[in-house]
Chains A and B, each alone.
Chain A
Amino acid sequence: MTGQTQSTPPLSLIHRSLIGDQEAFEQIFHAYKNLVYKTAFLMLGNNEDAEDILQSVFIRVYKSLDTYDASKGAFTTWLYRITVNHCHNFRRKHRFTLLSFTRQLENLMVSQTGVEKQFADNDALEHALSNLGEKLRAVVILRYYWDMSYAEIATSLDIPLGTVKSRLSQALIKLGEAMDDPITQNNKEMAK
């Protein structure tokens, strides 16, 4: 498991935050900022957007802390859900920026046809990851970065267990295809 963060902060911190104690909320922020930041970074691919998500998530947490029910699940589960949802909304707002980036990358690849372009495995994987849909990327990050079980992922994303299973499988199929792509293979051979 990555990190040593408690799954739920002490209830006293939550109670103090609810009555406006910002020092208490600051403790919650520092305890869970990396969970939010790293998830957002992996979902969106850059620090600037991750900072935006960090801010919007914790402002949302502060506003709706009274809706968190510890009896229904860990605080981290609630936080993952808010973070992933904010990332989805962020991508929706900035979808043309992201589409433009993808086209720029494609144009770059096309313009270099005939020039030997050496993609390492990591480049191919990174490109494939960036082309995964948001929903597949979310399960990949929760499983392969945060080591969550299928049940934990299902609860965090509020999806059925079967959907977790099928999305993970779809993601690995797509990533595997990208790694096995003839162009990638050819470039790896050229690099030897």
Chain B
Amino acid sequence: MIQHPEKPDLLAYLHAEVSPSRKQLIQSHVAGCARCQTEINRLSSLETHLQNHLHSLAESASPGEGAWERIQLKLPDIRQSNKRLTRGVQMRKAVPAAFIAAIFLAFSLLLAVPAARAQVEEMLIRWFRAELPDHSGTVAWGGENWPFTPYTITYFPEGFKSRGSTSGILESPDNFSLTLTFDNGKDHFIKVINSQGTDHTRLPQGEHLTIAGQPAILVRSPDLEPILFGEVNDLENYTVHETYLLTWFMEDVQIEIAANFPLEEVIGIAGSIEPMEASDTTVP
């Protein structure tokens, strides 16, 4: 049986990105295989077209007048402290009471000193916590000047766990977003995205339904790249077939749930949403 090189190998061969021994093998095969020769010719033609197209597109693309000046205006402030960092912490188990008490005591002593108090108050962040749906621990998240109480799910399918990749993003001075991630360690995921701000005031287009008594929108097979993008290569870890994106508002917080389950299950997960418990102290 003839073993035709796989497409990635043919492409790498075309790009001279194969080892000498592999190159010789592919070269020998292609010399006697009309099918692979045709494929190489087709790839080469497509690549030339693509290169020409990209160069044509970008030929006149260049920064407008005043680009440096606009950046320069913002430079002097940047080297000073950035007070708008958001931080995320996740705990899988409840912090021992003695440890909490020790932290409270330390902060109480600090607060008694005026100079230290000013510094501590700068560090104060808003904490939120919620018990995980399987009662295996607690998820906690804190952010400086965080403007809203985030929501999380109180139900997920058996075998799920919190992934530990909570992340809060200061998108801009007026927009905030927090993502909670859950998965079964294999190929199914749930993302709960809380957002608030001027960029998050409208529902998208899609099919209408109701979640938690609120009008919601369903998108089938959404573009997952912006939803699953992260430091870990999400799309390569998850099976992405049969995915759904539900969007609705709880007060002025936009909630999005993306998951790759049958729709009925996704709706059930979305319906379990509840606000996390807020605390204005320095510890969760």
Contacts and interface: CB of A to CB of B under 8 A. Distances in A.
A168 B8 contact: yes
A165 B199 contact: no
Contacts of B56: 122
B11 A22 contact: no
B265 to A, nearest CB: 23
A86 interface: no
Interface stretch (A6-14, A70-78, A109-117, A137-145): A137-145
A88 B226 contact: yes
Given A30-B68, A135-B235, 8 more contacts: A26-B68, A38-B62, A51-B64, A62-B75, A63-B79, A89-B169, A93-B171, A145-B51
B55 A165 contact: no
B67 A42 contact: no
Top-9 shortest CB links A-B: A92-B226, A169-B8, A41-B61, A95-B226, A133-B225, A145-B54, A38-B58, A134-B225, A165-B8
Q: How large is the interface on A (under 10, 10 to 19, 20 to 34, 35 or more residues)?
A: 35 or more
Interface string A1-32: 01000000000000000001010011001100
B15 A175 contact: no
B15 to A, nearest CB: 7
A96 B63 contact: no
Contacts of A59: 71, 74-75, 78
Interface stretch (B40-48, B134-142, B143-151): B40-48
Contact of A41 (B12, B58, B224, B225): B58
16 contacts: A37-B61, A37-B63, A47-B61, A51-B64, A92-B226, A93-B171, A94-B199, A98-B223, A98-B226, A99-B219, A121-B49, A125-B49, A133-B224, A134-B229, A135-B229, A168-B11
A81 interface: no
B68 A29 contact: yes
Q: How large is the interface on B (under 10, 10 to 19, 20 to 34, 35 or more residues)?
A: 35 or more
Contact of A25 (B70, B75, B222): B75
Contact of B204 (A30, A34, A55, A100): A100
B57 interface: yes
Given A42-B54, A42-B58, A176 B223 contact: no
Interface of B: 6-8, 11-12, 15, 17, 42-43, 46-47, 49-51, 53-58, 61-64, 67-68, 70-72, 74-75, 78-79, 82, 169, 171, 175, 177, 199, 202, 204-205, 219, 222-227, 229, 233, 235-236
Nearest to B231: A158
B71 A96 contact: no
B11 A145 contact: no
Contacts of A37: 61-63
A111 B83 CA distance: 50
B52 to A, nearest CB: 9
Contacts of A122: 53, 56
A176 B229 CA distance: 25
Given A47-B61, A93-B171, A55 B229 contact: no
B263 to A, nearest CB: 19
Contact of B47 (A99, A103, A144): A144
A92 B229 CA distance: 8
A150 B64 contact: no
A14 B115 CA distance: 37
Contacts of B15: 150
B226 A150 contact: no
B46 A54 contact: no
